[in-house]
Homo-oligomer: A and B are copies of this chain.
Amino acid sequence: MIKLNTKPLTREAFAPFGDVIEKADAQSFPINNGHCIRFHDLANIETIGDTARSMISIFSSKPYSLPLHLEMVERHPLGSQAFVPLSKDPFLVIACKDNNGIPDIPQAFIATNWQGINFKKNTWHGVLTPLVDVSDFLVVDRGGEGNNLEQYFFDEPYMIGSNLI
């Protein structure tokens, strides 16, 4: 079984897969007579198709333990998918580059301190993976007609987070 380490989630490291949703280093400007700061336009929302629209949902997930045995990744060909935690607990973010329709070796990031992420459309990624407790996430993704889910099962699972145990 191939063991993979995690790394901190940064905009630069995550750029091939999408956006990191956080205030740090974001474009911002004051609104409401200076009472409020708007950290502006933090994710590129993609919705493909004539019937497509953006949706807001809440995902409430049980936690996972590390090291994680990663057996499957998935992707959404027709839209981006954003996850923003409604708690300060860290969560695991897994993404893969694509290699002729097959996911490449996974990369694993630890999101901390309220960081959210937005996967680009058609980006291989692991399912939502909180690490500490049952956790709620605000999700912005695509609604509409068409098959927006593809899954890939690895021949052999990866062991993720070997550096954190």
What are 10 A-B interface contacts by the 8 Å CB criterion?
A23-B136, A26-B58, A31-B127, A35-B61, A35-B127, A39-B58, A40-B55, A41-B56, A56-B118, A114-B136
Please, which residues of chain B bring their CB within 8 A of the CB of A23? Answer: 58, 60, 136
Please, which residues of chain B bring their CB within 8 A of the CB of A38? Answer: 57-59, 139
Please, which residues of chain B bring their CB within 8 A of the CB of A40? Answer: 55, 57
A45/B54 in contact, CB under 8 A = yes
A residues adjacent to B (C-beta < 8 A): 21-23, 26, 31-32, 35-43, 45, 47, 53-62, 64, 82, 84, 86, 114, 116, 118, 127-128, 136, 138-140, 143
Contact of A41 (CB < 8 Å), options: B60, B62, B143: B143
Closest 9 CB pairs of A and B: A36-B61, A54-B54, A39-B58, A43-B56, A32-B127, A37-B60, A45-B54, A41-B55, A35-B62
Please, which residues of chain B bring their CB within 8 A of the CB of A54? Answer: 45, 47, 54, 140
Known contacts A56-B82, A114-B136, A140-B140; 14 further A-B pairs (Cβ under 8 A) = A35-B61, A35-B62, A36-B59, A36-B61, A36-B127, A36-B128, A37-B59, A39-B57, A39-B59, A41-B55, A41-B57, A43-B56, A54-B54, A56-B84
